[in-house]
Structure 1
Amino acid sequence: MDDIRITLDKNEIDLNIVHQFLKTAYWSKDIPKSVLEKAFNNSLCVGLIRNNQIIGFGRAITDYATFAYLADIYVETQFRGKGYAKLIVKALLDQCDSKELRRILLATADAHGLYRKFGFADLAKPENFLEITQPNIYQR
């Protein structure tokens, strides 16, 4: 897999590059860098590094005891289809001690197949879940 590695060291993750991707992603369109910085600082983050350059990212919002929410997982377009996203998801699940958590959630519009490989399934009781959603919050 080329010169690929996962880093948990936030100092190795170039937030400018992550922001360039996320501000165009369907789930975080136009996210302000200040919002991303706050999310980054308050999350478990992993970077996917290839030849000393960030090509993928993911984060988990977790209490490390009962719950985690996976977010902002991506691999740069030109590096997709090589299994790199699996490395990110595995690292996040390993680092948040997922086998001890009661619930792990995520939302996706287009990567269900990837996440199902890790045991994610449709909500068992969607009627038990409520949400406040503001999908265009960054465009205001």
Structure 2
Amino acid sequence: MRRFRAAGRLPGVRDGYEISTESARLDTDRIHRWLSRDAYWALGRSREKQEAAIAGSLNFGLYRTTSGEQVGYARVVTDRTTFAWLCDVYLDPVERGCGVGTEFIGAVRDHLDGWGLKRIMLATHDAHGLYARLGFRPLDRPDRWMIFESG
């Protein structure tokens, strides 16, 4: 588990934050509400699908150290050896705009990078700048990638 304090490092934030990969700590009600109601990629996702996604993934929760309240979530699908897909990244709207999200995703990236993965992939509609600041870049050869979408 990695800890970081906001004071002195992230402007406008007085409280500290803690990042945990302990799935038992996740506020699954809150995560489902965030994603199914507010995340363009997961609108309408059922509770059952969300719980199955959590069960089959490496999960990162971001918590206020003062209250223990969960304020962020990220999910990673990975074999922990060669590849990881970073997805379902969400930061409570109250926490946005002060650098907490960048620090959170940087910590997730650093955790995954420690495994020596060849690549960490993600998809975003509107946060390219945030991810670019953390070293992510567009695919060199997107024509080599394919997707199968059902239903």
Whether these two folds match at TM > 0.5 is yes
Name the SS for the 1:96 alignment partner. Answer: helix
1-structure distance, mates of 2:114, 2:143 = 24
Question: Does 1:20 pair with 2:33?
Answer: yes
Structure 2: gaps of 5 or more residues? 1-5, 7-14
Considering Cα pairs closer than 8 Å and 6+ residues apart, tell me whether 1 or 2 has the greater RCO: 1
Name the SS for the 2:59 alignment partner. Answer: strand
Give the residue type in structure 2 aligned to 1:43.
S
Normalised to the residue count of structure 1, the TM-score between the two structures is: 0.89
- Alpha-carbon contact 2:81-2:115 (below 8 Å) kept: no
Paired residue for 1:29? 43
CA RMSD of aligned residues (A): 1.5
1-structure distance, mates of 2:100, 2:114 = 20
Paired residue for 2:139? 123
State the identity as a percent. 35
Question: Does 1:61 pair with 2:61?
Answer: no
1-structure distance, mates of 2:138, 2:126 = 14
Structure 1: gaps of 5 or more residues? none
2-structure distance, mates of 1:37, 1:95 = 23
- Measure how far apart 1:88 and its partner are: 2.5
1:43-69 deviations in whole A, cap 9, x for unaligned? 111101112111110011111111000
- Alpha-carbon contact 1:62-1:96 (below 8 Å) kept: no
State the number of aligned residues.
135
4+ residue runs of structure 1 moved beyond 3 angstroms?
none
Question: Does 1:39 pair with 2:46?
Answer: no
Paired residue for 2:12? none
